[in-house]
Homo-oligomer: A and B are copies of this chain.
Amino acid sequence: MTPLRPGATIGILGGGQLGRMLACAGAQLGFDMLIYSPEENSPAGRVAAGTWCAAWDNGEALAEFAEACDVVTLEFENVPVLTIDTVEAAGTPVRPGSASLKISQDRYTEKTFLNEQGITTAPFEPVDGPGDITAALATLGGKGVLKTRREGYDGKGQAWIRSAEEAETAWDRIGGAPAILEAAIAFQCEISVIVARGPDGDTRTWAPPRNLHKDGILAVSSVPSGLPKAIEDEARAKAMKLAEALDHVGVLALEFFVLQDGMLLANEFAPRVHNSGHWTPEASQTGQFEQHIRAVAGWPLGDTHRLHDAEMINLIGEAGLVSPASLGPHDTLTLYGKREARPGRKMGHITRRLGPRKD
């Protein structure tokens, strides 16, 4: 494809913090950024050249938005596939396309697809009703995590099952929706790989961060991960393989559990920029937001060389009302412009540079 000319217009489906950071990165490259979001006065809309506030199924608004954009991307993996199809039908390319979305929107399809690519996951079984749980538990060794197939994020839509008696409660807890039961696994740590792929197939990864979750929400990502290079390389190779298998254009994140013996089990992927890559703008040559814009614009990808050791600390709920006096000399603060600090809500993050990269 022909690279977008400087000054072209890029649309983003979704108006949250990821869209906000993408819009700022796109503006730095000289693009006009437009936001489409059902949310009024969205975080991303307040840094963009224009906003369409309309529902995901508003065909007229989508067609108008498509008309205004040279290319459209997304910041939210649960954009309905029909929305993507409507924009594409209006003649504007959407990157990544609906394939990456369709597969990632359903945990069963997602994990099956990963396994088909030779990317091992924890064992899992489909659960279409509470009656399926007993058999699934038996197959998976007597305990596991019940997860809704669709719409779960930040630990929502998940419940532990440690015995058959807990089946009904867990089913109710996740809202009684089609689910999977995933085997309980003992892991030493979690890592993720952020990978970018251009329309020409060029693929780049960043150093995999080690991720610490609290209450199902990412709390801290650190680079370097401290894991042997061979494990990091294997994780990077798997993420690149996934991006190719999806014919993905843009940034994608693949999460892994690292077992005690170093074996990698993929957990899930997000077909977009990712919270565990929020350290990249401050600690590597090219950040994930700029890279995503380069990819969807058909520009050559930037260098992903890591420059600093760093950690990224999420500001969740009340922590988002950060006191500027509490910032350390090596801290870079990013706040998302959200009006209300609700419990569990991601309000911002701090990237702390820990010194020049040592290896």
Give the interface residue-count category, chain A.
Answer: 35 or more
Q: Could you tell me the distance between the alpha carbons of A299 and B336 in the complex, rounded to whole angstroms?
A: 17
Does A140 reach chain B (CB closer than 8 Å)?
Answer: no
CB-CB < 8 A to A320: which residues of B?
Answer: 6
A334: chain B residues within 8 A (beta carbon):
28-30
Chain B min CB distance to A111 (Å) = 36
User: What 1/0 mask marks residues of chain A from 296 to 321 whose CB sits below 8 Å from any chain B CB?
Assistant: 01011011010110000000000011
Residues in chain B near residue A246, CB distance under 8 A = none
Q: A24-B28, A334-B28 are in contact. Are A329 and B285 (CB under 8 A)?
A: yes
B7 and A27: CB pair below 8 A?
no
Structural contact, A324 and B300, CB atoms closer than 8 A: yes
Contacting pair A6 B321 (CB below 8 A): yes
CA distance A32 to B353 in the complex (A): 26
- Contacts A27-B46, A27-B47 given; does A337 touch B20 at CB 8 Å: no
A184 within 8 A of B: no
Cβ of A245 under 8 Å from chain B: no
| A213 part of interface (Cβ distance < 8 Å) | no
Residue-wise interface mask of A (342-359) relative to B, using a CB-CB cutoff of 8 A (1 in contact, 0 not): 000000100001001000
Instruction: Write the nearest CB–CB distance from A11 to chain B, whole angstroms.
Output: 14
Report if A138 contacts B (CB, 8 A).
no
Contact, CB under 8 Å: B330 / A303: yes
Contacts of A6 in B (CB 8 A): 320-322, 335, 348
CB contacts under 8 Å to B, within A25-52, are 27-33, 46-49
CB distance from A354 to the nearest CB of B (A): 12
Are A300 and B285 closer than 8 Å at their CB atoms? no
A333 at the interface (CB under 8 A from B): yes
Q: Could you say which residues of chain B place their CB within 8 Å of the CB of A32?
A: 46, 337
Name A282's closest neighbour in chain B (CB-CB): B285
Closest chain-B Cβ to A331's Cβ sits at a distance in Å of 8
Which residues of B lie under 8 Å from residue A329 when comparing CB positions? Answer: 285, 302-303, 305
Within 8 A of B (CB), among A4-34: 6-7, 20, 23-24, 27-33
Asked whether any CB of chain B lies closer than 8 Å to the CB of A214, the reply is no
Establish whether residues A30 and B335, one from each chain, have CB atoms under 8 Å apart when the complex forms: yes
Question: Which of B48, B302, B348 interacts with A30 by CB under 8 Å?
Answer: B348
If A27-B24, A29-B335, A335-B29 touch, whether A300 touches B322 (CB-CB below 8 Å) is no
A327 within 8 A of B: yes
Across-interface contacts of A28 in B (CB, < 8 A): 24, 333-335
Q: Does A236 contact B (CB under 8 A)?
A: no
In-complex Cβ contact of A3 among B29, B307, B321, B324 (8 A): B324
Residues of chain B within 8 A (CB-CB) of A31 are 337
Residues of B within 8 A of A46 (CB): 27, 32-33, 48-49
Task: Pick 26 A–B contacts, CB within 8 A, sort by A.
Answer: A3-B324, A3-B325, A6-B321, A7-B337, A7-B338, A7-B339, A20-B27, A24-B24, A24-B28, A24-B47, A27-B47, A28-B333, A28-B335, A29-B333, A29-B334, A32-B46, A32-B337, A33-B47, A46-B48, A47-B48, A285-B329, A285-B330, A285-B332, A294-B324, A300-B325, A307-B308
Chain A interface residues (CB < 8 Å from chain B): 3, 6-7, 20, 23-24, 27-33, 46-49, 285-286, 294, 297, 299-300, 302-303, 305, 307-308, 320-322, 324-325, 327, 329-330, 332-339, 348, 353, 356
